[in-house]
A and B are shown apart, each in its own frame.
Chain A
Amino acid sequence: MRNILAIAQKELRSYFASPIAYIVLGFWALLYGWFFITILAYFVRASMQAGQFGPQAANVNQQLIRPLVQNVTILVLFLLPMVTMRTYSEEKRSGTIELLLTSPITDWQIILGKFIGAMALYGAMLLVTMIHLGLLFYFGRPEWKPVLTAYLGLLLLGGCFVSVGLFISSLTKNQIVAGMVTFAVFLLLWVITWIGSFSGPTVDQLTQYLSIVDHLDDFGKGVLDTTHIIYYLSFITFGLFLTSKSVESERWRG
C-alpha cells in the first residue's frame, strides 16, 4: 500500500509540475461552466413557461443536473486522454521505467499507483464543479442524494476511461500516439449504440450494454443499480488487467 501511494503521489505531482494539470483543469472549469450556464438558461426558461400553466415547479434534479451530467461526459471524453497518455509512454521513452521495474515493487503496485494518481487529478476536476452545484444549492433546493449518485457515476465512468487510457499508454513510447488512440477508443465506446438502432434487437441490446455512457443515465436519475456498478467496476478491472499483461509482455520482449 505504501508503494502504491508513493507512485500515486509521484504521478500526481508530475501532473502539477507539468502544464498538463493546469490545462486540463482550466479547460474543464471553463467548459463545464459553459455547459452549466447553457443548461441553466434553458431550465429557467422551461420552468417559467411551466409556471404559466400552474403552480407546479420544475424539478432541478431531473431537468438540470441530469442533462448536465449527461453532457459533461463529452468533456471527460476529450480531457482524460490528455491525463492518461503520458502515464506509461513517458516512462518508457525516458527510461525511468527501468527504475520502477527494478525496484522491489510489483507491477500491480505500479499500475494501481498510476491509476490512483490519474483518478486523483480527475477527482480534482470534479471538485471544481462543486462551485456550480454550490450555486444551485444556494438558490434552489435540489435533492442531494441524486447529485451524489450522479457524481459517483461520473467517477466510475472516469475510472473506465483511465484504465483503458493506462493500457493504451503502456503499448507505446509515443505519448501523442497514446493520446490519439485513447481518444479514438473512447469515442468508439461513446458512439457504439448508434449502430444498434438499425441492426435488430440483439445488436441493439448488446451495444447498449457495452456503451459506457448509457450506463450513466440511471446514476443521473438518482438510481443506484448494481448492474451499472458491476459493469463499471468490471470494466475498470479489465482495463487494469490488460495493462498488467501489457507490462508483463513488455518485460519478456525487452
Chain B
Amino acid sequence: MIEVQHLSKRYGRVTAVDDVSFRVERGEILGFLGPNGAGKTTTMRILTGYMPATEGKAIVAGFDVFDQPLEAKRRTGYLPETPPLYPDMSVIEYLTFVAKIKGVPGNERRDRVNQVMTRAHVADMANRLCSKLSKGYRQRVGLAQALIHNPDVLILDEPTAGLDPKQIIETRQLIKELAGNHTIILSTHILPEVSQTCQRVVIINKGKVVAIDTPDNLTARLRGSETMYVQIDAAAGAESAHAALSHVPGVTRVVESDRRDNAIGYEVDSETGRDVRRDLARAVVGQGLGLLELRPMRMSLEDIFLSLTTDETPEPAAPATEAGDMVNA
C-alpha cells in the first residue's frame, strides 16, 4: 500500500532524511518511532505530497507522490503535528470545507461529515468555533478531517500528543478500529503506544532507519539478558533476600534497585532465554520471605534508543517474553 524506496531529503547541507526505505501492507499499522528532529515529520510530509524528496521514490496507494500527486493525495488522509484548523470556522463548517477540497461529492458531504464527527467523538462540538476547542478536541477534529474522504492511507503525526490519558486510550482504540480498512502510519515517541497499536515499528534516528521489526521482537532483541523486578518484604532483612535470589539457578546478577519503608526491590538478571520466574517465586516463598511483586522489566524507548544508536554491533536475538505477566502478593 505504501512503498518508500531510498528516500532522502536535504535542506542545503542538512540531511533530514537519509536513504529511508520501508513498506507498509494493506490494513497494517506502522509505528514511526524516534526522538524529535529524527526526520519523522519530514518523511510524513513527503508521503503526503506536502514537499518533494531530494532523492528516492514514494508510492502511496499505487501512485507516485511526485509524479501523480493529485491521485495520491485523493487517497491519503493526513493529520499534521498541529491540527490544521481554521479558528473562525465552526467544527461542522470546517469539516464541510475539508470535504469539499478533498473532493467528496456534494450529495455525500453532509453524511460524511456526520459520520466522521461520530467516529472521532466530536459530534457534541459540531457548532463550536475551532478556536474555542480544547486541545483534545482539536486533535480529534484533526483526526476527523483526515478521515473525511475515507482515504486508503492515513498518516498521523503524533495523534495522541497533548491528550489526557482517557483521550489517549480512546484515540488508540479508534486507530485500531480504523486499521483493516485503512493503512496507517503513525509517529510517536512513546513506546507503549507503539506496542499497543502498531503491528510493526520503524525506528528512525538522525534521518536513518535503525530498525524495522514488530514491537515485541524489538524489545526482546535489544535485551541481551532477561531482567526481572522482584520486591520483597523488608522484615526478613536484606542479606537473606539477596542470598536467596542469587542462588536461583540461571540468575547471573542481583542488584538492589530501591528500598522503601517495608519493601526492598531487586533487579534480577538471568541467562537469555531462560524463564526464571517460577524458580524465583519458589525460592523467595520457600525461604519464608514475603514476595510483594515479581515482573519482567520492559525496556523503555530511551533504553532501546540508546542501545540502537550507540551500539555498533547488534546484540543477539532472544525470544520475546509475554508482556504484562505479573505476580502480586
Chain A residues close to B by CB (< 8 Å): 2-3, 6-7, 10, 13-14, 17-18, 94-106, 251-254
Least distance between A117 CB and chain B CB atoms (Å): 13
Can you report 29 A-B residue pairs in the complex whose CB atoms are below 8 A from each other? A6-B101, A10-B86, A14-B86, A14-B88, A17-B88, A94-B82, A94-B84, A94-B85, A94-B86, A95-B84, A97-B84, A98-B78, A98-B80, A99-B80, A101-B49, A102-B48, A102-B49, A102-B50, A103-B73, A104-B71, A104-B74, A104-B101, A104-B102, A105-B70, A105-B101, A251-B51, A254-B9, A254-B16, A254-B51
Q: How far is the CB of B16 from chain A (nearest CB, A)?
A: 8
List of B residues within 8 angstroms of A17 by Cβ: 88-89
* Closest partner residue, chain B, to A14 (CB atom): B88
Point out the residues of chain A lying under 8 angstroms from B98, CB to CB: 99, 103
Q: Are A102 and B76 in contact (CB under 8 A)?
A: yes
Interface residue total, chain B, C-beta cutoff 8 A: 33
Complex contact A254–B42 (CB within 8 A): yes
When distances are taken between beta carbons in the complex, the residues of chain B under 8 Å from A251 are: 50-52
Q: Does B87 contact A (CB under 8 A)?
A: yes
Kindly list 5 other residue pairs between chains A and B, CB separation below 8 angstroms, not including A94-B82, A99-B145: A14-B86, A18-B88, A99-B78, A99-B84, A254-B42
A7 engages B82 (CB within 8 Å): no
Interface centre among A14, A94, A102, A251 (most CB of B within 10 A): A102
Structural contact, A94 and B87, CB atoms closer than 8 A: yes
List of A residues within 8 angstroms of B86 by Cβ? 10, 14, 94, 96
Judged by a CB distance under 8 angstroms, whether B282 is at the interface is no
Q: Say whether A10 contacts B87, CB under 8 Å.
A: no
Q: A3-B101, A6-B100, A98-B78 are in contact. Are A104 and B73 (CB under 8 A)?
A: yes
Q: A7: nearest residue on chain B (CB-CB)?
A: B101
Residues of B within 8 A of A96 (CB): 84-86
Q: Give the chain B neighbours of A103 by CB distance below 8 A.
A: 73, 98, 101-102
Closest to A103 in B: B101
Tell me the nearest residue of chain A to B102, going by C-beta: A103
Which residues of A sit under 8 angstroms from B71, Cβ to Cβ? Answer: 104
Task: List residues of chain A with CB within 8 A of the CB of B50.
Answer: 98, 101-102, 251
**Chain B residues with CB below 8 A from A3, complex form:** 100-101
Q: Across the two chains, which residue of chain A brings its CB closest to B77? A: A102
Contacts of A106 in B (CB 8 A): 70
Cα(A220)–Cα(B291), bound, Å:
96
Which B residues from 82 to 104 make CB contacts under 8 A with A? 82-89, 97-98, 100-103
Q: Chain B residue with minimal CB distance to A109? A: B101
Min distance, Cβ A21 to any Cβ of chain B, angstroms: 11
B24 to chain A, nearest CB (A): 18
Q: Please indicate the chain A residues that have their CB under 8 angstroms from the CB of B101 in the complex.
A: 3, 6-7, 100, 103-105
What 5 pairs between A and B have smallest CB-CB spacing?
A17-B88, A99-B84, A6-B100, A104-B73, A96-B84
Chain B residues with Cβ under 8 A from A253's Cβ? Answer: 11
Q: Are B11 and A10 in contact (CB under 8 A)?
A: no
Asked if B11 and A254 make an inter-chain contact with CB atoms under 8 angstroms apart, the answer reads yes
**B101: nearest chain-A partner, CB-CB:** A103
Are B84 and A252 neighbours in the complex by a CB distance under 8 Å?
A: no
Q: A252 contacts B88, CB within 8 Å?
A: no
The residue in B71, B100, B102 that gathers the most chain A C-beta atoms within 10 A of its C-beta is B100
Provide the residues of chain B in CB contact with A18, threshold 8 Å.
Answer: 88
Q: Does B189 contact A (CB under 8 A)?
A: no
B45 at the interface (CB under 8 A from A): yes
Task: Establish whether residues A10 and B48, one from each chain, have CB atoms under 8 Å apart when the complex forms.
Answer: no
Q: Which residues of B contact A6 (CB under 8 A)?
A: 97, 100-101
State which residues 33-85 of B face A: CB under 8 Å. 42, 45, 48-52, 70-71, 73-74, 76, 78, 80-85
Complex interface: chain A residues within 8 A of B97 (CB): 6, 10
